[in-house]
Structure formats: C-alpha cells, structure tokens
Structure 1
Amino acid sequence: MFALDSRLQQDTVLIGDFPLCRLLLMNDANYPWFILVPRREEVSEIFQLDTADQALLWNETSELAATLKDTFAADKMNVATLGNMVAQLHMHVIVRRRADAAWPAPVWGKHSAIPYSDEQIAAITAKLRGVLADDFTFAEVAK
C-alpha cells in the first residue's frame, strides 16, 4: 500500500492525483513549487518503476510542467529528482521567474519557507482547475 513519506506530508499541501502520481504543493510561497510522487511502494529511483510507469511519470511530469509554465508565466521550469533528504521517489516541478527570491540559483536552502495562506492555496487550486487534464482528480481539501 502506498504511503507518503512523512517529510513530504509535513512540508506540502495535497492538491490531488494523476493516474500514477500524487500532486503536492510545497508549502513555500516563495515559488510555485510542485512535487509529483508515484503512488508505488518502496520506490526511490525512476529505474525501479516498470517501463509503463516510467513513461507515465514522464508524461505526467511534462504535462504538469507545460501547464504550470503557461499558468504561472514561468521564465524557466526546473524539473528534478534528487532524493537526498527524502528517499521516496518524487519529482520536483518548480516555476522559476527572473524576479523570484533565488533567481538564478537553485531554490533549495536559499530562503526560509513562507507558508501559504488558505486563500493562496485556494487561488492556486482554482488556477489549476480547468487546465489540468481530465484524468486529474482534485483532493477534497483542494476543492
């Protein structure tokens, strides 16, 4: 059974689910920073997914990145899997703007996180409604 790593659970807000991945919003208002987590047990590397899930992960990542680029007027999209702090496989999809707090450096460890307000989370969810694919299911809390 899939279980979300406790650190991801603590640091993020649940947005919903693609067919493979859970979509989370990093609770840091410095950046529109999203995380995709394949709902598979004990997977820490992309190559541990079967071929179909690998393709689905890349498709969901690409779809999300393209949607976020347009929706949040990104200058650049940062997409990465690192897993140095959290072993569970997760894909960072971060909207970067030349005017953001860390540009052009990486976002990790640059600034203290500024938690989103409930109103900001609702606004982000509203922006994503209607632009994410029909196969995306919003979480109850994200409605």
Structure 2
Amino acid sequence: MSSVPNCPICTKWQDDPDQRVIELTQTKVSLNRDQFFKGYCFVFAKDHVTELFHLDEVLRNQVMAEVNAVAQVLYNLFAPDKINYELLGNMAPHMHWHIVPRFASDPLWPRPHWSEPHQELLLTPQEYRERAAAIKAQLNKEFPWTC
C-alpha cells in the first residue's frame, strides 16, 4: 500500500482515531471533524492515488461501490433531503470523496456546503466514536460484502 508522508489524507486514519468509521476493501471511511452536516464523511482511497482514471476498471468499480454504500447508509441513518458528493483534490491531492447529508432546513441549503462560512460543530471524542459506530454497524448490516 503506497502512502505519502506529508499527505493529510494518507495520515488521516492515524491522526484522527476518534473519527474512524471503517476500513473497507479499497477505501477507508472517516467522519469529518466538523459535523455541522450530521454524518458528513470522507471516503478515501487506501493507496495514494490522485485521479479516478488512474485506477483500472475493476478497482475503480470497487471504489465506487464503496462510495455508494457509504452514501446509502448515511441516507438511511440520517434521512437527509439529498446526499452531496464531492471529489476535488485540489487542496489535498489524494482521491477522497466528501459525502455530505444535506437537509432543506440547513442554513446553507441549497448552496454547496462550502459556499459560505458556518459555525463548526465539533463533537466530543465519545460522540464521534458513537456516530462512527452507528455508521459502521449499518454498513456491516446493509453491505457485509464491503467489510
């Protein structure tokens, strides 16, 4: 497994243990530190890769199946009005998705979650672990093939 020492995504799993959700076959899933959008997760490639087209078709399909599984579980757990998917990598050039449950009642609706500053919602370490455990349990229940 390849990693880059100064890449914040490569080191995220070690740096933020309370936010870890689950390690899947091709990706890892972590909660975003800011939980203003309840359930906001990162799904990131285990290997340091910058572009989706760098993956062969089989691996690319496996990665996308895992992204889809996480999105579906967040939808089922939190009942948002919409799931937002974002794959940019300009600031952290390591393939990672922002999977963001969005609600029509949130103050930034319908704009992108990053369109305006907002007050961060930080959880206690225990609250991160509980939220991560709920997502992990649902993934294991709904998508046991990913775990």
- TM-score (ref. length: structure 2): 0.80
- 1:75-94 aligned within 5 A: 75-94=81-100
| 8 Å contact kept, 1:16–1:136 | no
- Say yes or no: does 1:120 pair with 2:120: no
CA distance in 2, matches of 1:100, 1:136: 31
1:136: how far off? 5.1
| 1:10-50, Cα deviation, whole Å (9 max, x unpaired) | 68822221100010111002012111111123x11100111
Residues 1:38 and 2:48 aligned together: no
Contact 2:21 2:135 in 1 (8 A): no
Deviation at 1:53, TM superposition (A): 1.2
Cα RMSD for the two superposed structures: 2.2
Deviation, 1:105, is 1.2
Task: Note closer, same or farther for the CA distance 1:113–1:3 as it changes in structure 2 (3 Å cut).
Answer: farther
Label 1:46 to 1:96 Cα distance change in 2 as closer, same or farther (>3 A): same
Q: Does 1:55 align with 2:61?
A: yes
Structure 1 window deviating more from structure 2 (109-118 vs 96-105): it is 109-118
Q: Percent identity?
A: 24
Q: Could you tell me which amino acid in structure 2 is paired with residue 60 of structure 1?
A: E
What is the match of residue 134 of structure 1? Answer: 144
More helix by share: 2
Unaligned runs of 5+ in 2: none
In structure 1, runs of 5+ residues without a counterpart are: 138-143
Which letter does structure 1 place at the counterpart of 2:8? S
The aligned counterpart of 1:6 is 8
Mapping of residues 102-113 of structure 1, within 5 Å: 102-108=108-114, 109-113=116-120
Q: How many residues align?
A: 136
Q: Distance in 2 between matches of 1:19 and 1:80?
A: 21
1:58-98 Cα shifts (integer Å, max 9, x gaps): 11111111111010111100012011211111011111111
The TM-score, its normalising length taken from structure 1, stands at 0.82
